[in-house]
């Protein structure tokens, strides 16, 4: 029990350090980026007088030294105030709150899709190494992993929404419909294309790794022995293969959460999906420090949680690691 507590505390400390570190780096990057927040706010070439520009800078505290600005932000954060977004003119917590759920749904679905499809494709093509199917999967994975998400998104949009008309052209709800009338089915319908787009890049990574792993496993002595006992290929994979490739697949799947977050920025923009990703790009383009910091913290927590779950799952799935933990 004591051990568990210790571990929990050390995890917590690491998380806090990570949050502080990331917020500092993000802050530094934003303030040294060549974006003038006043320009972004009033429009680059508006006829707003220099006097009013000074007023704006003072109002938003843009003239204070960076260190002071950072610590003001930090001390407000500790009090639970994440500041006000310059570009949306709303409290950051409000923006994050309204967008987090949308992003979470999108990413969760995409994450599941990429995990399942990737794993299945990987196992199958690994088992049938050298076959036409394997070659096709491999080629597809190489193409997909080298394709940018937004391009896939545009392609899907053209094909499925414009040409075939199966899916809506964007948004998370039907055009012009009051929210009280929007059904769950409609929400799901709007989620499919962005989620599928987002899962695409994840699929190739998981599939290629799983494929390689299963090929390795199939070369093992115990597999040879099992073959000798007369086990068929698929029984063999089920009994010896899946279990051995589960751990790397799970690690990879949880590690891909960070990539997922990156991908969501692009996918959400293409599909006008109102999540954190589209807010992040807006904040970045407008030099909106409080909002960008808020989103950065959110994503850190997200990725950190992903890695933590992967660590915990190791222990559950693999007794060797669990034992190791006890010894240490």
Q: Which stretch binds other proteins (CB under 8 A): 1-9, 67-75, 131-139, 275-283?
A: 275-283
Instruction: Return the residue of 17, 104, 171, 220 that touches other proteins, per CB under 8 A.
Output: 171
Neighbours of 74 (CB within 10 A): 14
Q: Is 272 in the site for other proteins (CB under 8 A)?
A: yes
CA atoms within 13 Å, Cβ hemisphere of 302: 20
Query: Do residues 308 and 257 make contact, with C-beta atoms less than 8 angstroms apart?
Result: no
Q: Which of 296, 293, 289, 294 is nearest to 64 (CA)?
A: 289
Backbone φ and ψ of 84, nearest 5°: -115, 135
User: Tokens standing for 146?
Assistant: 């080298």
Site for other proteins in 25-54 (CB under 8 A): 34-36, 39, 41-53
Neighbours of 136 (CB within 10 A): 12
- Angle among Cα 33, 35, 40 to the nearest 5 degrees reads 155
Q: How far is the CB of 288 from other proteins (least distance, A)?
A: 12
CA 315 vs CA 145, 182, 322: distances in Å: 30, 43, 5
Site for other proteins in 218-247 (CB under 8 A): 242-243, 246
Q: Which stretch binds other proteins (CB under 8 A): 67-75, 124-132, 166-174, 202-210?
A: 166-174
Site for other proteins in 117-146 (CB under 8 A): none
Site size with other proteins, rule: CB under 8 A: 72
Site for other proteins in 294-313 (CB under 8 A): none
Q: Is 174 in the site for other proteins (CB under 8 A)?
A: yes
Neighbours of 328 (CB within 10 A): 7
Q: Is 111 in the site for other proteins (CB under 8 A)?
A: no
Q: Which stretch binds other proteins (CB under 8 A): 1-9, 14-22, 161-169, 295-303?
A: 161-169
Site for other proteins in 60-89 (CB under 8 A): 60, 87-89
Q: Is 321 in the site for other proteins (CB under 8 A)?
A: no
């Amino acid at each position: 029990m004591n051990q568990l507590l210790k571990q929990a505390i050390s995890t917590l400390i690491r998380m806090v350090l990570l949050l502080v570190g990331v917020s500092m780096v993000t802050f530094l990057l934003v303030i040294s980026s060549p974006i003038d927040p006043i320009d972004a706010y009033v429009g680059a070439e508006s006829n707003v007088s220099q006097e009013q520009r000074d007023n704006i800078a003072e109002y938003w505290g843009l003239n204070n030294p960076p260190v002071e600005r950072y610590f003001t932000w930090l001390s407000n954060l500790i009090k639970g105030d994440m500041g006000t977004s310059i570009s949306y003119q709303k409290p950051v917590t409000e923006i994050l709150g309204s967008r987090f759920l949308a992003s979470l749904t999108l990413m969760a679905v995409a994450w599941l899709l990429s995990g399942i499809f990737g794993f299945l494709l990987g196992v199958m093509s690994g088992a049938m190494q050298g076959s036409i199917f394997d070659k096709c999967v491999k080629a597809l994975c190489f193409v997909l992993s080298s394709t940018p998400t937004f391009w896939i998104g545009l392609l899907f949009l053209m094909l499925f929404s414009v040409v075939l008309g199966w899916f809506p052209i964007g948004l998370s709800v039907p055009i012009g419909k009051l929210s009280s009338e929007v059904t769950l089915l409609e929400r799901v319908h709007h989620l499919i294309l962005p989620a599928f787009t987002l899962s695409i890049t994840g699929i190739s990574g998981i599939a290629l790794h799983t494929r390689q792993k299963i090929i390795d496993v199939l070369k093992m002595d115990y597999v040879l022995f099992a073959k000798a006992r007369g086990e068929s290929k698929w029984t063999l994979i089920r009994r010896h293969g899946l279990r051995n490739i589960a751990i790397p697949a799970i690690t990879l799947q949880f590690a891909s959460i960070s990539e997922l977050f990156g991908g969501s920025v692009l996918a959400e923009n293409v599909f006008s999906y109102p999540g954190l990703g589209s807010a992040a790009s807006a904040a970045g383009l407008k030099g909106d420090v409080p909002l960008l910091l808020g989103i950065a913290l959110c994503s850190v927590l997200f990725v950190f949680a992903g890695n933590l779950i992967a660590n915990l799952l190791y222990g559950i799935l693999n007794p060797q690691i669990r034992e190791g933990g006890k010894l240490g």
